[in-house]
Amino acid sequence: MDLRGAVLAPHALERMAVRRISEAAVRALLERPETVQEVRPGRVAVQGLFRSPEGGQYLLRVFVDIDRDPPRVATVYRTSKIEKYGRQP
């Protein structure tokens, strides 16, 4: 599944702005995800570890609707709960 050409939905752009997540970080993750897991039919959660500008480590989670062409990024968030989400198959 190639997610590099995914478009960013307006909601995703709003959440990225509020959460101070750059488009570059999202695009980098879509190019080289650490894990991809199905959330429901047609939607996957793409995630990977990133360093925050403040120096902390967090897990970036990008939810992508893959049942359309091109795929669409629905929402994005980061979390410090790496153990909770980071080790899922």
Of the pLDDT bands very low, low, confident and very high (cuts 50, 70, 90), residue 60 is very high
pLDDT at 52: 74
56 located within any domain? yes
Of the pLDDT bands very low, low, confident and very high (cuts 50, 70, 90), residue 87 is low
Express each pLDDT in 6-23 by its tens digit.
999 999 999 999 998 999
Percent of the chain with pLDDT over 90: 73
Domain that holds residue 59: 7-85
**What is the average per-residue pLDDT within 48-73?**
90
Which of 80, 72, 14 lies closest to 46, judged by CA? Answer: 72
What's the total number of domains in the chain?
1
Q: Are the CB atoms for 9 and 23 separated by under 8 Å?
A: no
Distance, CA of 89 to CA of 50 (rounded, Å)? 19
Distance, CA of 65 to CA of 51 (rounded, Å)? 26
Number of residues assigned to the chain: 89
